[in-house]
A and B are shown apart, each in its own frame.
Chain A
């Protein structure tokens, strides 16, 4: 079952104007719009907003709904080759959105066994289906149980609320 949380998202820089006329109050300058992001039970989460689904000796990894919303429209995804070794907490690839590349970090250590080839033609799957069609890599874990130390859905939800409250 999906949990839904009410989180504050960042200002839309597209609408920001710096003319010499009257300005809006300086604070809070970066948080205006509000967004509802989805968090799934049964997944584990990192503080850097990746998710991992473990089972049958292979773990699936992607970025969360919270992350895709904050990143904006994803236009390009760079993924490792199968056979690459990934380490927990380290970058394995990146996504491009709004003229920015953003690192994506692996929740667990292991070997990449499959990458989502659909993302090369349809990177927007990360936005429209971050937990299903927008999965990024599948990993054969080198340390079974490593994911147990990650955040569950409730703790991840709290983490997002705390981040957006700043």
Chain B
């Protein structure tokens, strides 16, 4: 597995990179991005902006909104977020079928090895949690022969940023209608440092793969033909949603 580590890469650029690695390369990858800038709202492929985002404050404060290529829910990410992504061929893990719950089962076990010594770690209804409090949200995209499982981990977060997000209609049962503050927790309260976390991920991967670090420059491609589907919504897109009440998904 090829390992690429970076810090503060804008999440839009990271998602474009991941989509390209998924669709245009034959290799297994782990991408770790420690923090991102600017703070950005990231929605899943089917998310309805008007249901998930407080559009007026977002427009007022010019918060970027991205629709990513994978499924799942909405997050707001910033320098307190650590991203870990696995991009694999469907035969990369013996016995693992390329379906959502299978991949989640495998990733949950891998992360269990990373987190068990720091707290009561659970894979709860597809979220990563300490006890009943979520600290990692993930999503996947599965192609014919490959898959990506990417996670945004809340090393820390700014509670004010959560005001840009609505509580989603479709929420896991264990959320129990809690607001963001009661539902989430910060990894920094459980783990001594970011590097302890990321080193733990790399060590856990090493039990399954031969991990080969690669420089970012080596993989930033000049493939102009690939057009990623992850999209930054424009201010006009958001204003159109406000005025149309989102009859069409943008």
Which chain A residues have a beta carbon within 8 Å of chain B's beta carbons?
A: 10-14, 16-20, 27-31, 48, 70-72, 75-76, 78, 89, 91, 94, 96-103, 105, 163-164, 166
- Total chain B interface residues with beta-carbon distance under 8 A: 41
B122 engages A18 (CB within 8 Å) = yes
B105 engages A100 (CB within 8 Å) = no
Q: Could you list 22 examples of A-B contacts with CB < 8 Å?
A: A12-B101, A14-B101, A16-B104, A16-B109, A18-B111, A18-B112, A18-B116, A18-B121, A20-B117, A20-B120, A29-B106, A29-B109, A76-B71, A94-B45, A96-B44, A96-B46, A100-B72, A100-B139, A100-B140, A101-B140, A101-B141, A166-B95
Decide: A18 near B115, CB < 8 A? Known: A76-B45, A100-B141, A105-B144: yes
B105-149 interface with A by 8 A CB criterion: 105-106, 108-109, 111-112, 115-117, 120-123, 125-126, 138-144
A78 to B69, CA, bound (A): 12
Decide: A101 near B69, CB < 8 A? Known: A18-B116, A20-B117: yes
Decide: A76 near B46, CB < 8 A? Known: A13-B126, A100-B71, A100-B140: yes
Chain B 39-76 near chain A by CB (<8 Å), digits 1 or 0 = 00000111000000000000000000000011111000
A96 engages B45 (CB within 8 Å) = yes
A10 engages B99 (CB within 8 Å) = yes
Partner of B97, one of A70, A97, A98: A70
Q: Which of B45, B94, B99, B103 has the most CB of A within 10 A?
A: B99
Chain A interface, >50% SS class = mixed
Chain A residues with Cβ under 8 A from B109's Cβ?
Answer: 16, 18, 29
